[in-house]
Amino acid sequence: MPEATSRLDQPEPTSRSKQYSATELAKLAQDGVTLILRLQDPSGAYPASPSFSAYRGYCWFRDGAFIADGMSAAGAEDSASRFFDWCYRILIGRERQVLDIVARAQAGQQVGDNEMLPTRFTLSGEDGDDDWWDFQLDGYGTWLWAVVEHAQRHGLELTRWKRAIELSVDYLLTFWRRPCFDWWEENSDQVHVSTLGCIAAGLEAVTRGEFLDAARRGEAQAAVAAIRLEVVERGMSEGHLAKWLGSAELDASLLASIHPLGVFPASSDIGAATIEAIDQGLNVEGGVHRYLADTFFGGGQWPLLSCMLGLAFAAAGDRDRALSQLEWAAGTADVDGSMPEQVAEHLLDASMTAEWVQRWGPVAKPLLWSHAMYVRLAVELDVIERTAA
């Protein structure tokens, strides 16, 4: 950490100093909504990136849930509902698998990682033939959170997705303590705090109201309390959330647990300390790194994370800082308005860029998740119209 920290101490001059009018910021958000609508598959899936070699043809529960939340918040109700229908069909299609692994685990039997639900699916909802870093739990929590938020925001009945919600709850209740790959598809031997945040947010969301049966509801509430306790006891360092249980490192994915997931709100000591630590440790003039040891495409700055930091600032009441995060993210759009996964600025390890370009081609662009987080922050800041809650 100390070596990489010193890199952040000397920010390079940034080329993203353009000032944006409110109209320009709003247009980029509206264009983002249009782009996501155009690229959404008839199945309801949101492709992570339509052209990037390693992502083409796949939709992630993680990306998709945040994209659906952004679309829902921006008023694209039907688009978000169709994504949740896609999630529903995937889970219903794997009901037997979920029931089997849950029953075996509860009976004390071993369940292999290769038996767990995948991280991503083809647009038509198949597992896909390409190897990937399965398995990951966060997306199954995030979709639960997003579908409940969506239903509340638009006054919809959750019954449309009920059985898939129940299966996801049972899956998470059984497996939340299990190590898995993180948001970045790395470190499969750890229990990641941002993954726990996604799970807690999903389980908390489904316990609102009387939607679940009393037994599941009680178990979900108990699990949320247990997850919080685990994080507080083992998932913190110097007052802020840490990358995984027992780690002292930071990771910008932790921002989601503050806002919009709301597990450790910006007003709490943990939330405030985490915002400050990430701002100081991973944010360079608005561009946010994933973590200090990142070498993926050289370890650049991620607009989706800049927007997540903006959301956290907004939740903390700091509109100016939130708006400057939005402006930085706007500066990553190319002339066509397309936003990338990361920009090659303030690279943490430039020697690694060529290796990734050779392996997978140029950085993913457009990345729908980047657009969606921009839209979500634009809604939060009333840069575009907020859909009534």
Torsion of CA 12, 16, 22, 28, to 10 degrees: -130
DSSP H or E run through 282: helix 269-282
Catalytic residue among 69, 166, 170, 182: 182
Please say which residue, 55 or 83, places its beta carbon nearer to ligand BGC: 55
Please say which residue, 63 or 204, places its beta carbon nearer to ligand BGC: 63
User: Is 182 an annotated catalytic residue?
Assistant: yes
In terms of residues, how long is the chain?
Answer: 389
Catalytic residue among 69, 166, 341, 380: 341
Peptide bond into 118 cis (omega under 30): no
Q: Label the pairing between strands 287-288 and 283-284.
A: antiparallel
Structure-token pair, residue 72: 């829902």
Q: What are phi and psi of 244, to 5 degrees?
A: -145, 170
Q: Where are the beta strands (DSSP E) in 257-355?
A: 283-284, 287-288
Tell me how far, at minimum, the Cβ of 319 lies from ligand BGC, in Å.
Answer: 28
| 281, 243 contact by CB (below 8 A) | no
Identify the three-state secondary structure at position 60.
strand
Tell me how far, at minimum, the Cβ of 243 lies from ligand BGC, in Å.
Answer: 14
Catalytic residue among 185, 219, 249, 318: 185
DSSP state of 245: T
Please say which residue, 75 or 202, places its beta carbon nearer to ligand BGC: 202
Q: Where are the beta strands (DSSP E) in 228-333?
A: 236-237, 240-241, 283-284, 287-288
Please say which residue, 273 or 352, places its beta carbon nearer to ligand BGC: 352
Please say which residue, 211 or 374, places its beta carbon nearer to ligand BGC: 374
Tell me how far, at minimum, the Cβ of 253 lies from ligand BGC, in Å.
Answer: 8
The footprint of ligand BGC (CB under 6 A) covers 48, 55, 60, 62-63, 183-185, 367, 369
User: Is 166 an annotated catalytic residue?
Assistant: no
Tell me how far, at minimum, the Cβ of 254 lies from ligand BGC, in Å.
Answer: 14
User: Is 185 an annotated catalytic residue?
Assistant: yes
Tell me how far, at minimum, the Cβ of 187 lies from ligand BGC, in Å.
Answer: 12
Tell me how far, at minimum, the Cβ of 10 lies from ligand BGC, in Å.
Answer: 27
For 23, 292, 301, 356, the CA distances from 341, given in Å and listed in that order, are 24, 17, 9, 13
| 158, 112 contact by CB (below 8 A) | no
- 354: CB partners within 8 A, 6+ apart: none
Please say which residue, 70 or 75, places its beta carbon nearer to ligand BGC: 70
Which residue's CB atom is positioned nearest to ligand BGC?
A: 48
For 56, 126, 152, 161, 338, the CA distances from 118, given in Å and listed in that order, are 16, 10, 28, 19, 28
* Residues labelled as active-site residues: 182, 185, 341
